[in-house]
Chain A
Amino acid sequence: MKAARIAALRRGMAKLERAHPGPPAHLSLGVPQMHAHLPGPGLACGVLHEIAATVHGDRPAAFGFLFASTAVALRLRPGFAVLVAQRRCLADFGTPYGHGLVQLGLDAGRLLLVETKSDKDALWALEEALRSPARPAMVVGAIAGGLDLTTSRRLNLAAATHATPLVLLRSSSATSTSAAATRWRIASAPAALDRFGAFAHPRWHVALERCRNGRTGQWLIEWDHVAHRFCLVEGVADRAPAERSGIRLAG
């Protein structure tokens, strides 16, 4: 009974929200099973989401997840995205490559790359981008170290200014005591092959390690760069692209 009422209220809310066309308050990941663990239908905007690779060698996979979520934001929201990266993060596995970004479904022409010498400068640049009236569609960062409580709180506040989605990639080894809304761990997984046997869609093991007002969980997901959404991979051994479940969004 109660559930039905809540659902009705939610529908009412959704109608009201539709009356004000604007960017949605969540970045939809496209996987209902994941949304069930999160407080809203996707990554909430205006708070910090923290991701890290499981081990250092998985950092490219974490970058993949980072850019995939940026691609979602660029589809849903107007404007440009900002990537702030500490120099060491880029020296490690290389700098984002335009054609690679495009193949991931990200509009490379709408990405501003900011390279900084230190984590301190990177955090400053992140705050600057979040507070800017230019309102980036998304702000993502990559730092070489970890996050502490104070800086993550500052980032939370800065992200709330214009309800900008914010995802930060931190070091996999640093211990983190941050005020992030969610904390994810990303690991590589063998990619899906298309029917010709060519690499078709990247896959990642994602673990939701911490989630404010939600539950933890782990999934094997696949990124569809055309539809700009993730899909859940059911059979782990299967390397065929996952069946697209539910409605397919026009991309």
Chain B
Amino acid sequence: MLIAPGKGGARIVSLNRAARAGGLVEGELLSNARSKVRELQTRDADPTADAAALRRLALWCLRYTPIAAPWDESSGADGLFLDITGCAHLFGGEERLLANLSTRLRAFGLFPRTAIADTAGAAWAVARHGARDATIVASGDERAALQALPLAALRLGEDGLLLMRRLGLRRIGEVMHQPRAPFAARFQAELLRRLDQALGHAPEPLVPVVEPPVYRAQAAFVEPIMAQEHVLEAATQLLEALARDLERDAVGARLLRLLLFRVVSKTRLLNDAEVVSLDLGLAAPSRDARHIAQLIGLRLHRLGSELEADFGFEAAAVHVLVAESLAERQDRLAVGEANIPPEELARLIDRLQQRLGRGAVRQLHPRQSHIPERAVRARPAAASRRSSPSPRSSRGEGRGEGQVLAPALVAAPHPNPNPLPTEEWGEGAPMPARPLLLLERPEAADVLAVVPDGPPRHFRWRGVLHQVAEAQGPERITPEWWRRTAERTRDYYVVEDVEGRRFWLYRAGLYGRGGPTPQWFVHGVFG
């Protein structure tokens, strides 16, 4: 039995069967309970751990449906809603689904009470207050099913229940037959809202444990699979099934999730990661099952032994979380070097990212800032949404409704089309010399200068002394005042040592302005 501090002392939160048989009820003061039953074993309630466990259970339940929503506080936070719309037939009907679910949950050592109904509210009511452990309310029978249940089955708050009890209303049926208008006028909206939700007159949005996919395919295996290649094979088959749906809707997947459901042994009660979830982002929408399967293969390869199959996987699902339009495209008529389909670049980026990680493949973009390290941003690469500026890319062409394109009218293609998204570098005034390689963070250097605020004469960096042969500068860069940082004004010098190596040094801070002594840093090197 679980206890938690409440009004007037520790109160009972939850009971096991033995305690209930002893006549204890939830909400009772612990001291009263002790007087009833001599030997009580108590544990402190841990709502956080409960919520986490419920979440794991919800993830585990994704094998039944993509929408699994743990109950919130007002629903008791001790169960799950599963939206099985369109899912029951996969398990041979609602009865079988329910039986399957209950059997498996019992194997975890849980005592599930389950119900299926048209509305979440009715299912909740029947599951919590119905006579049997597993109930299926036939479509349209909610009214009849709810009649006899106590008002608590409407998920009313403590106050609402007390009020109803004082009015002598105990059963849902009694409320249902009351005239609606006076009720609505006298009581909080909660009662009618809950009633409407249970009867399907008002919507009850579920908050799914993971975002529901746009498209999905799933399969259960007769024998658990373990080997990486089998997982890949299963994923490929699911992807092929998905590809047909995607093609029908003329879309391509941009973000996919592969879910692998582990066989759960009885001895291990729902540990973490009973479900292995791999997210794959694509550089451009695709519905090419072979390509995506390759990416999954690379990803599994990267996971290597981290993908612990234990007793194997008993089911797998592929969800498409983000889909973007992907029209049928005609291959170019012309053949030659310049006609490389732009999606090939996206595939290359995908393959590199799956094996090396998303951050590993980047493209440099200029940024409006005069602080050197902020003036360039490396972003994960993505293929350009527009294809390269060749004649075919202008929209509408190639659809060719009797349209004849005079070659002279088509703008000449750029000699070197760029399939990557481009931004203009070097806008505005020409920039003073910038190094080829920029250090991750500036590194301190010991500098000797002839005059304090003059260029360096020699400097020591990483333990090596460099004699300066030529120094150019300074280029003064002041901190951006709108950023509240402790940055100091920097005076940059391009310095060449006697061996011809050029460095980018700066002195942070100014002489004669007070403050800490200026310091020298190496910020980059030139090629």
Contacts and interface: CB of A to CB of B under 8 A. Distances in A.
Interface of A: 21-23, 57-58, 60-61, 63-65, 67-68, 74-75, 77-80, 91, 93-104, 107-117, 121, 124-125, 128-129, 132-135, 137, 187-191, 193, 197-199, 202-203
A187 B499 CA distance: 9
B361 A188 contact: no
A97 B418 contact: no
A28 to B, nearest CB: 16
Nearest to A57: B501
27 contacts: A21-B336, A61-B500, A78-B337, A78-B417, A79-B419, A93-B525, A94-B435, A96-B364, A98-B366, A99-B375, A99-B431, A100-B527, A103-B434, A109-B420, A113-B364, A113-B378, A116-B360, A128-B348, A128-B352, A132-B347, A132-B348, A133-B341, A133-B344, A188-B500, A199-B526, A202-B502, A202-B526
Nearest to A122: B356
Contacts of B527: 60-61, 63-65, 67-68, 100, 104, 202
A65 B526 CA distance: 11
A203 B527 CA distance: 9
Contact of A80 (B336, B378, B419, B439): B419
Contacts of A96: 364, 436-438
A74 B417 CA distance: 10
B207 interface: no
B351 to A, nearest CB: 6
B458 interface: no
Contact of B502 (A23, A68, A114, A191): A191
A91 B364 CA distance: 17
Contacts of B469: 190
Interface in B185-242: none
Contacts of B28: none
Contacts of A191: 496, 500, 502, 526
Contacts of B415: 78
A189 B499 CA distance: 7
Given A97-B436, A198-B472, 18 more contacts: A57-B499, A57-B501, A80-B419, A99-B375, A99-B426, A100-B527, A103-B434, A104-B436, A109-B363, A109-B418, A109-B421, A110-B416, A111-B364, A112-B420, A113-B381, A114-B362, A129-B348, A134-B347
Nearest to A124: B355
A110 B418 contact: yes
Contacts of A108: 364, 366, 425
A125 B350 CA distance: 12
B408 interface: no
Contacts, number: 207
B337 A23 contact: yes
The majority secondary structure among interface residues of chain A is: mixed
B457 to A, nearest CB: 17
Contacts of A202: 502, 526-527
Contacts of A121: 355-356
A97 B367 CA distance: 12
Nearest to B364: A98
Nearest to A64: B527
A61 B431 CA distance: 21
B16 to A, nearest CB: 51
A79 B388 CA distance: 9
A125 B356 contact: yes
B356 A116 contact: yes
A97 B438 contact: yes
A137 B296 CA distance: 27
B437 A100 contact: yes
Interface in B491-523: 494, 496, 499-502
A97 B437 contact: yes
B340 A133 contact: yes
B103 interface: no
B399 to A, nearest CB: 25
Nearest to B375: A99
Contact of A75 (B340, B356, B416, B464): B416
A134 B499 contact: no
Contacts of A78: 337-338, 388, 415-417
B304 to A, nearest CB: 13
A87 to B, nearest CB: 9
Contacts of B419: 79-80, 134
A193 to B, nearest CB: 8
A63 B436 contact: yes
Contact of A60 (B341, B364, B423, B526): B526
A93 B437 contact: yes
A188 B501 contact: yes
Among A61, A68, A79, A199, the one with the most B-chain Cβ atoms within 10 Å of its Cβ is A79
Given A68-B527, A97-B434, A190-B500, A135 B361 contact: no
A205 to B, nearest CB: 8
Given A57-B464, A190-B469, A190-B500, A80 B436 contact: no
Interface string B456-473: 000000001000011010
A196 to B, nearest CB: 10
B93 to A, nearest CB: 48
A199 B494 contact: yes
B434 A110 contact: no
A198 B494 CA distance: 10
Contacts of A187: 500
B337 A135 contact: yes
Nearest to B351: A128
B370 to A, nearest CB: 11
Contacts of A80: 345, 418-420
Contacts of B372: 97, 99
B344 A100 contact: no
A100 B364 contact: no
A109 B362 CA distance: 11
A109 B363 CA distance: 7
B75 to A, nearest CB: 46
Contacts of B363: 109, 111-113
B376 A199 contact: no
B29 interface: no
B42 interface: no
B362 A113 contact: yes
Contacts of B478: none
Contacts of B360: 114-116
A21 B363 CA distance: 29
A124 to B, nearest CB: 7
B310 interface: no
